[in-house]
Structure 1
Amino acid sequence: MSKPPGRFLDRTSPPHIATLILIAGLSALSMNIFLPSLPNMAVYFGVEYGVMQLSVSLYLGVSAVLQILIGPLSDRYGRRNVLLVAMGLFVLASVGTLLAPNAEVFLVFRMGQAVIATAMALSRAVVRDMVDEAQAASMLGYVTMGMSIVPMLGPVVGGVVDEIFGWQGNFALLLLAGILVMALTWADLGETAGTRPTSLMAQMRDYPELFASPRFWGYVMSSSFASGVFFAFLGGAPFVGTEIYGLSPTALGGLFAFTALGYAAGNFLSGRFSMRMGVNRMILVGAFITLAGLVLQAAVLAAGVATAFVFFGCFLFVGIGNGMVLPNATAGMLSVRPHLAGTASGLGGAIMIGGGAALSALAGMLLVPGSGAWPLVLIMLASALASLLSVFAVIRRERNSRG
């Protein structure tokens, strides 16, 4: 989606694709840039690794709660207004993380940063406002392909910044990025959804219409379990890399690029083939690839040949699969009730991120000295299998309804 020259500051025009990429990318950057710093942050604050790992799981948990409100609010008051308020709050919370005197205060402000989950949810809703289901899957694929550059570079940059400036450098970068993206959003993102003259509670009463749709649940569960693999990885990979393989923050950040590179490739495939193959087939193939990558990882781990490069390299396939599943499942859930696209995006995101928070916390709890990497691998395998079964349920129901 492009604009003629001079369309910046037009509050009624759709945004550039680059703007959507950066808005969604800020949410992704906030989630992962500091991951290589987690062990050093635990030392700085004088707490166990599991305490600092809460900066991932608590962040995800608050994001899930917020997204229950994000959708109805954006349907009622508009995507633009809700995004700008959320970004302002994110900037304030980022200042708080830098000034925190102890781990408890840091975690409070870290939970405040979760408000930026609004950016991920509403960037999807903006796409659905502009185009139909098939085009939405394709456009989401391209948007998230571009966005995947951020999580690809985030941990790499985060590891280097940690070694040069300490962990605070990463949160200073988030503060700067928040200010810049907020300015871009104000300048370029016009309103794409008409406001609805109803109360927030009336909007919340739309949820039963979505709850009653088996297709909505199928798409939500498929995307939730697929992303659950990734969120468990976020919770457990810093421990595995540091405690099991003895990696430095820079080396650990570099190995995170496997997942992001695969995600970029999967999103490219979504952008290229979703309109031709349809969302259900793309989700099915992506779920198979994710599961296959984890089966390969379990096999090399059992055989005793899982070096750090091999262990993290298997996440290339997880990234490819997720890059195919997530944009297509998202397009599917948003198209079940197009007039509730914002509500569906918020509700689906809440379920997805809430489940991810639980899996991330579980991974952090089970990974203790002496456990090895198996608890993380088994959690991810179970989640990937559940994602595959969920899309099978959608396909079977649609076949039965045609019959």
Structure 2
Amino acid sequence: MTKRPASRFLDRNTPPHLATLVLMAGVAALSMNVFLPSLPGMAVYFDAEYAVMQLSVSLYLMMTAVLQLLVGPLSDRYGRRPVMLISTALFALATLGAIFAPTVEVFLACRMAQAVIASALVLSRAIVRDMVGQAEAASLIGYVTMGMAIVPMIGPALGGLLDETFGWRASFWLLFAAAVAMLWLIWSDLGETAPNRSGGFRAQVAEYPELLKARRFWGYVAAAAFASGVFFAFLGGAPYLGSEVFGLSPAILGIYFGAPALGYVLGNFLSGRFSIRIGINRMILWGSLITSVGMAASILIYAAGLTHPLSFFALTATVGIGNGMIIPNATAGSLSVRPHLAGTASGLGGAIMVGGGAAMSVLAGILLPLGTGPYPLQALMLLTSLGSTVAVIYVMRRERDLTAQPSA
């Protein structure tokens, strides 16, 4: 008999209210992007090159990738509740460290430590699976990930407004306040949903070789990694582009940052509406083509002399549409290659996706100051999107020609 969500808030002896899980995912998403409009100003404050300051994005993503491999097994062994309490408390301390960091090196170290909040992304979904059966879990996870879709729309805009009003530290004070509130909510409302402990991590690692031999798994993971790489390249390069090339204020830049998030909502809607009818491979293909066409159009429009910021930022909505169509379907595909290793595939695929995104973020931060205008970032995003297209075409051909092979 499956457990049900708590009928009321603030009862830690029962499974949590769904809103608690939504807020957990939302705070984790906010940590990723709320401070992005402040990056150029932070580079001036710390007397650091933009490429160094941009490491606050890429190092955070790298740590998130590593943590995705560890958080699930740790929560299997010690429970969801204690892992969330400890990780949220550590996130609050790391945020204070970032606020009072005297040097860019200390700030980057604290920023890496903030990645511990990735536990909220991983465990909010795991807790849903603990509480309900597989069919209902898909619906509830959709509500949980709603926080991850809405927050990127408002996070940069809010961060830009806070920066202009109070300075760059204001975004991190907001994160600290959110962490304290979330810590109280977890303590009060998050009951333990995984009472049966297991040795999780060792068993998960032992299953990696079988999964690593599956070529279709790598095809789906590559499609998702390239798709997320387009978005993370945007995160790494857009603050510099908006400030140094287009001369945007932090508040206006924050508003423009909402374009991919709006597209992501539409892409997720299209996935939910058409994936069963069209099939996951075709949805991935169409998503990658939409992003590629959008980035190619952005290059051509800017080259034609239309150099308004919208010539770049408006078309990044296609990045969000593509991600919304590619990532859910590619994730589902990677989990279906070896159904009995779905947990292992989820952790490994997620780590590869975020790790690849971190690499694209670093590359964007390095290339932009070396080029002219938005062209380096536009080209990087276009080439990365085409990589997603190549990956899904490989999967489609593999399925067509080698479906009878167990290692396909």
TM-score, normalised relative to structure 2: 0.89
Q: Would you say the 8 A contact 2:25–2:147 is kept in 1?
A: no
> For residue 220 of structure 2, what is the amino acid of its counterpart?
Y
Q: Would you say the 8 A contact 1:138–1:274 is kept in 2?
A: no
**Any idea what the Cα deviations from partners look like across 1:284-324, whole Å, max 9, x if unmatched?**
22222222211211221222213102210001111111112
User: More deviation in 197-206 or 33-42?
Assistant: 197-206
- Match status 1:9 vs 2:5: no
**Any idea what the Cα deviations from partners look like across 1:258-284, whole Å, max 9, x if unmatched?**
111111221222233334444333322
Q: Would you say the 8 A contact 1:121–1:345 is kept in 2?
A: no
How far off its partner does 1:248 sit?
A: 0.5
**Any idea what the Cα deviations from partners look like across 1:125-173, whole Å, max 9, x if unmatched?**
44556454x8766665554344211010000000000011101100010
Q: Would you say the 8 A contact 2:4–2:15 is kept in 1?
A: no
What does residue 291 of structure 2 align with? 290
**Any idea what the Cα deviations from partners look like across 1:314-339, whole Å, max 9, x if unmatched?**
01111111112122222333444455
- Match status 1:151 vs 2:152: yes
How far off its partner does 1:179 sit?
A: 2.1
Q: Would you say the 8 A contact 1:138–1:275 is kept in 2?
A: no
- Match status 1:216 vs 2:223: no
- Match status 1:345 vs 2:330: no
> For residue 95 of structure 1, what is the amino acid of its counterpart?
L
How far off its partner does 1:370 sit?
A: 5.0
How far off its partner does 1:198 sit?
A: 2.7
How far off its partner does 1:175 sit?
A: 0.8
**Any idea what the Cα deviations from partners look like across 1:24-53, whole Å, max 9, x if unmatched?**
222221111000001111111122222211
The equivalences for 1:1-400 within 5 A come to 3=5, 5-6=7-8, 9=11, 13=15, 16=18, 18-127=19-128, 130=132, 132=134, 140-141=141-142, 143-191=144-192, 195-198=196-199, 200-338=201-339, 340-368=341-369, 371-400=372-401
Structure 2: gaps (5+ residues): none
Q: Would you say the 8 A contact 2:64–2:351 is kept in 1?
A: yes
Going from structure 1 to structure 2, the CA distance change for 1:185 and 1:387 (only over 3 Å counts) comes to farther
Supply the distance in 2 between the matched residues of 1:166 and 1:60 (Cα, whole angstroms).
24
Going from structure 1 to structure 2, the CA distance change for 1:333 and 1:19 (only over 3 Å counts) comes to farther
User: More deviation in 7-16 or 142-151?
Assistant: 7-16
How far off its partner does 1:84 sit?
A: 2.9
Structure 1: gaps (5+ residues): none
Q: Would you say the 8 A contact 1:145–1:268 is kept in 2?
A: no
> For residue 113 of structure 1, what is the amino acid of its counterpart?
Q
The alignment partner of 2:248 has SS state of coil
Going from structure 1 to structure 2, the CA distance change for 1:79 and 1:323 (only over 3 Å counts) comes to farther
Q: Would you say the 8 A contact 2:222–2:391 is kept in 1?
A: yes
TM-score, normalised relative to structure 1: 0.90
Report the aligned-residue RMSD: 2.6
Supply the distance in 2 between the matched residues of 1:211 and 1:336 (Cα, whole angstroms).
11
The alignment partner of 2:54 has SS state of helix
Going from structure 1 to structure 2, the CA distance change for 1:336 and 1:190 (only over 3 Å counts) comes to farther
> For residue 9 of structure 1, what is the amino acid of its counterpart?
D
How far off its partner does 1:174 sit?
A: 0.7
Supply the distance in 2 between the matched residues of 1:391 and 1:193 (Cα, whole angstroms).
36
Supply the distance in 2 between the matched residues of 1:292 and 1:91 (Cα, whole angstroms).
41
Going from structure 1 to structure 2, the CA distance change for 1:197 and 1:63 (only over 3 Å counts) comes to closer
Aligned length: 401
Supply the distance in 1 between the matched residues of 2:285 and 2:139 (Cα, whole angstroms).
16
